[in-house]
Structure 1
Amino acid sequence: MCTRPAPRSRRTPGSRTRTTARLTATLLTAAALLVSACSAGNPAASAGGTVEAALAALPRSTPSTLTPYYGQRLRWRDCGVPGFECATMKAPLDYADPGAGSVRLAVARKKATGTGRPIGSLLVNPGGPGGSAVDYLQRYAGIGYPAAVRARYDMVAMDPRGVARSEPVQCLDGRQMDAYTQTDQTPDDQREQDALVAADRKFAESCGAHSARLLRHVSTLEAARDMDILRAVLGDRRLNYVGASYGTLLGATYAGLYPGRVGRMVLDGAMDPSLDARRLNLDQTAGFETAFQAFAKDCVRHDDCPLGAKGTTPARVGDHLKAFFRALDAHPIPAGGAGSRKLGEAPATTGVIAAMYDEASWGQLRAALTSAMKEHDGAGLLALSDSYYERDPNGRYSNLMMANAAVNCLDLPPAFTGPDEVRKALPAFEKASPVFGAGMAWTSLNCAYWPVRATGEPHRVKAEGAAPIVVVGTVRDPATPYRWAKSLAGQLGSARLLTYDGDGHTAYGRGSSCIDTAIDTYLLRGTPPTTGKRCS
């Protein structure tokens, strides 16, 4: 998602970093997967008009103004991480005026480990927007992808512009972020509503003050063009790519711009670029409700479920959780080992949402809820929330949420332009999720106060003439609803839809041998799965 706990597919780790998914120790990239797109089906704009625009391919020849960028040579150096090397690549700040300055983008790679014929480079991106691809490569993909894949490919990652090591967008400091993440997301009166609006304004103004040069140039379109420069300087004729969550939007955008340069491309936990921001947020709200229903059914099968005994319905489990949130709204509780910090409704909600990304985290969530509800110790839920926001024990935040907002607010016009529109939309959001709906509606207000106008709009991506693209959708994915995968697969002319009938965010590397075999076979042999293939 885009900011605060209404994750827009941020986990990107899609996003999981696999050694973790997105949660506390196993939540390394949880936040990285915030999504930023919209829903599926017949895409409609906020005003109700059907979106007809399609992303147009760029000319096949490289403009002479970009020759210095395409012709650059990377100087590889030791990263400080065994087996990996790093470099810095330059890209134009503004593709409309390539001579007006450049941005420096961090790149990392791990050379192919096998002795067989190499295939080329495999670029990976974990999502976000805002997730560090370099971290993802060094902590998971470069060591956790199947050995056969790592043997044939140079594993490569690039932090997108504005993210992590690539001229990161800067906004609030640690203390200010602590206050921001504690902001009440379900205002009960005018005073609380004014406080939420003030928090969003302060966040936006701070980003504008600290990152004015870059803020107009962190769009997904520009990041996709950067990927083509990287392809060229790596010496690859085509781009081989695995993108998760928001990384699928990056990949699809690349395919739309450069269909003839698409190699073997996997889009896992797919986003749909054809819908507006409001529909995007509404669909994701429903996605988290679907995930919560699955968690609720599982929770009551365990003796340690604090939300209901065996036989309790998911609706009743949701009522218990909402009552707990209301109690925290009125009286935050101590957070144990977290020092003087307390657990209020906002971070508690974020903690629960974070655990929805991976069913392997459900046991951790049950324990955290038990501690908070029965022992008045909020440390467990606060730890989940901190992991989602990538806050370390010393109170320092990565720039994940800052880059997330910057990209999302540039890619699409705001979901809402003011509180009145949010209030009108509340019934629809609460119907989509009785548990998370109100909070997700209010957190969708953040782009209303952004200091730069959006440069993107909803559009379809056809990528006519591209090689086969594998689009992967998980049936009960909370952050990138399955319908988005179906919609994207329907737009892309060469797509093959691969379905995972399971829980959690994304599918590759989650334990399904069916999914993993299909993707590995495609990456290694170039043979895509059959149309409509379904795995569990």
Structure 2
Amino acid sequence: MATPHPAPRRRTATTLAALTALLLSGCSALGSERSEGPAASGPGTATAAPAVSESLRPYYEQELNWRPCDEPGFQCATLNVPLDYADIDPAEDLQLALSRRRAGSAEERIGSLLLNPGGPGASGIAFLQHGAAVAFPSEVRAAYDLVGFDPRGTGRSEPVACMDGADMDAFTATDRTPDTDAEIDSLLDAFTAFAESCQERSGRLLEHISTEESARDLDILRAVLDDERLHYYGASYGTLLGATYAGLFPGRAGRLVLDAAVDPSLSTYETDLQQAAGFETALTSFLASCTSPCPLAAPDSLTTLLAELDADPLPTNDPDRPLTESLALTGVAMALYSPSSWPQLTTALAAAIDDGDGAPLLALSDAYHDRGPDGSYGTLMYAFPAIACLDHPPALADPEAVQAALPDFTGASPTFGTDFAWSTLLCASWPVPSAHTPAPITAPDAPPILVLGTTRDPATPHAWAESLAAQLETGVLLTHDGDGHGAYPGTTCINDAVNTYLLTGTTPPPDTTCT
């Protein structure tokens, strides 16, 4: 499991959040209900925000130069945004990569639907071009320009850079369940080396890739697209970005679908603890479905395998990359994101347990880590901790704190808890301290916001969706009683509710549950 855990990743074959290779009425687009910078009220506060400042006005009034993308059927452009909203210097501007697919019907067009697949750090452009453009039904595609964007520091938008491939191979294989002082020292050294590589190769960018800054970028994008309100689909971490936008700019919020919701009010410690429990719940559901011949027929089969790998990693098809305990646990976690991956997990576990072959589990781990066949890593694995550690103060500060917290974590998740607890120390090593304080987001006066949660979601427990929907003054909870990370698209019940909301603004009855 990638570190850190505070902001959940996306990976599912049944929701829009996994279709990456790993979302209008009133005043003008430059109206007066917009916050102009970090000095304005925070995400959960209702204030009448001032008009756009003169320093921000050129960003809101810029024109996009749309051109054909390499991918047929899509247009691409770049958007200029300030690096630092508190101290704007055009010489430091960031350029954000955009892609869109035009609405299918000029007569039925509502506006733009912005898409974010989560992460943090996943590419919205890949999300759009490699799945979302056909995953939405024809009625939604007719009504909206679908717009994918890579948030600051990710994908093609001046991404965070850290270790090279060989060093990342070593980093991801590091033992994250240390048993001795020497193993603890090795883990701390690995976290420090990773953090220092990011600082060395990314510099000042690391200070300015918070979710709040990305939400401010969204408001510039909304205005430049000539939309008076922001219509949006966000999954997993994308729900935090969407909710943050609604908190900052409630008067600019439109139809927001927040799928696999994150709870912004939780401390980092509670977030990590509850996410560990979520993966345990998903593992229990997988085990219940694992029919004969199941490689985990004995209750302690997985625990035994992990203990054996801790002592003696299994060979794979790469002699330089044996399957370690950490890589195996990441591979298991990867498959728990979607029931469609469970047969692959069963096969991979059988190969490891019955045949001593670690290659299938390593392949699952590589998919989670966004590692390509050539040994290179995508930008996700760098942006993910950089954004998460800036957004979230470290849950635990040192090995002593981890040792004290281990009973809580192993109680919540006997399988994943130790890994989660020790992984919190990456943010404790991070070179840029977090100034963020978790707080509820209320977004008063925003239109109805549709919040989705799945009862056995491994990465974003259903309780988070319940909490976010309750925090938002206009939040409406829609529940999928089932497995996997995210709900849309999924059952007919879920699809009908979401599509109706996107097309008409009408939400389902509060607390609707779909099976």
- The TM tier, using the shorter chain, reads over 0.9
Q: List per-residue Cα deviations over 1:103-161 (Å, max 9, x = no partner).
A: 11001100012354201000010000011111000001112211111111000011000
Q: Name stretches of at least 5 consecutive residues in structure 2 with no aligned partner.
A: 23-41
Q: Match for residue 197 of structure 2?
A: 206
- What pairs with 1:176-195 in structure 2 (closer than 5 Å)? 176-195=167-186
Q: How far apart are the structure 1 equivalents of 2:280 and 2:45?
A: 32
Contact 1:273 1:461 in 2 (8 A): yes
Matching residue within 350, 369, 394 for 1:389: 369
Which amino acid in 2 is paired with 1:28? A
- What pairs with 1:29-108 in structure 2 (closer than 5 Å)? 29=22, 54-55=44-45, 59-99=49-89, 101-108=92-99
1:443 aligns with 2:442: no
Q: How far apart are the structure 1 equivalents of 2:106 and 2:319?
A: 52
Structure 1 residue 485 displacement after superposition: 0.5
Q: Match for residue 230 of structure 1?
A: 221
Q: How far apart are the structure 2 equivalents of 1:332 and 1:78?
A: 48
Q: How far apart are the structure 2 equivalents of 1:7 and 1:417?
A: 14
Contact 1:57 1:258 in 2 (8 A): no
| Alpha carbons of structure 1 residues 352 and 8: separation in structure 2 relative to 1, 3 Å | farther
For residue 531 of structure 1, give the secondary structure of its aligned residue in structure 2: coil
Q: List per-residue Cα deviations over 1:318-373 (Å, max 9, x = no partner).
A: x210110010111111113x454211101100000001100111000000000111
Q: Match for residue 424 of structure 1?
A: 404
Q: Match for residue 28 of structure 1?
A: 21
Q: List per-residue Cα deviations over 1:255-309 (Å, max 9, x = no partner).
A: 000001111110000001111111110010010011011011111xx2231010x
Contact 2:335 2:342 in 1 (8 A): yes
- May I ask how many residue pairs the two structures share in their alignment? 495
- What pairs with 1:135-534 in structure 2 (closer than 5 Å)? 135-299=126-290, 302-308=291-297, 316=299, 319-336=300-317, 338=318, 340-510=320-490, 512-534=491-513
| Alpha carbons of structure 1 residues 17 and 397: separation in structure 2 relative to 1, 3 Å | farther
Contact 1:58 1:257 in 2 (8 A): no
Q: How far apart are the structure 2 equivalents of 1:391 and 1:143?
A: 26
For residue 206 of structure 2, give the secondary structure of its aligned residue in structure 1: coil
| Alpha carbons of structure 1 residues 85 and 266: separation in structure 2 relative to 1, 3 Å | same
Which amino acid in 2 is paired with 1:184? D
Q: TM-score, normalised by structure 1?
A: 0.90
| Alpha carbons of structure 1 residues 16 and 259: separation in structure 2 relative to 1, 3 Å | farther
1:117 aligns with 2:118: no
| Alpha carbons of structure 1 residues 530 and 120: separation in structure 2 relative to 1, 3 Å | same
Which amino acid in 1 is paired with 2:494? I
For residue 204 of structure 2, give the secondary structure of its aligned residue in structure 1: coil
Q: List per-residue Cα deviations over 1:211-256 (Å, max 9, x = no partner).
A: 1120000000000000000000000000000000000000000000
Q: List per-residue Cα deviations over 1:66-101 (Å, max 9, x = no partner).
A: 001000000011111011010010000000112262
| Alpha carbons of structure 1 residues 421 and 57: separation in structure 2 relative to 1, 3 Å | farther
- Of the structure 1 ranges 401-410 and 463-472, higher mean CA displacement relative to structure 2 is found in 401-410
Q: Match for residue 44 of structure 1?
A: none
For residue 215 of structure 1, give the secondary structure of its aligned residue in structure 2: helix
Q: Match for residue 28 of structure 2?
A: none
Structure 1 residue 412 displacement after superposition: 1.6
Q: How far apart are the structure 2 equivalents of 1:288 and 1:19?
A: 20
Which amino acid in 2 is paired with 1:303? S
| Alpha carbons of structure 1 residues 60 and 501: separation in structure 2 relative to 1, 3 Å | farther
Which amino acid in 2 is paired with 1:381? L
Contact 1:507 1:515 in 2 (8 A): yes
Structure 1 residue 466 displacement after superposition: 0.1
Which amino acid in 2 is paired with 1:421? A
Q: TM-score, normalised by structure 2?
A: 0.93
Identity over aligned pairs, percent = 52
| Alpha carbons of structure 1 residues 263 and 139: separation in structure 2 relative to 1, 3 Å | same
Contact 1:53 1:458 in 2 (8 A): no
Q: How far apart are the structure 1 equivalents of 2:242 and 2:319?
A: 42
- Of the structure 1 ranges 60-69 and 231-240, higher mean CA displacement relative to structure 2 is found in 60-69
Q: How far apart are the structure 1 equivalents of 2:135 and 2:86?
A: 39
The RMSD of aligned alpha carbons is 1.8
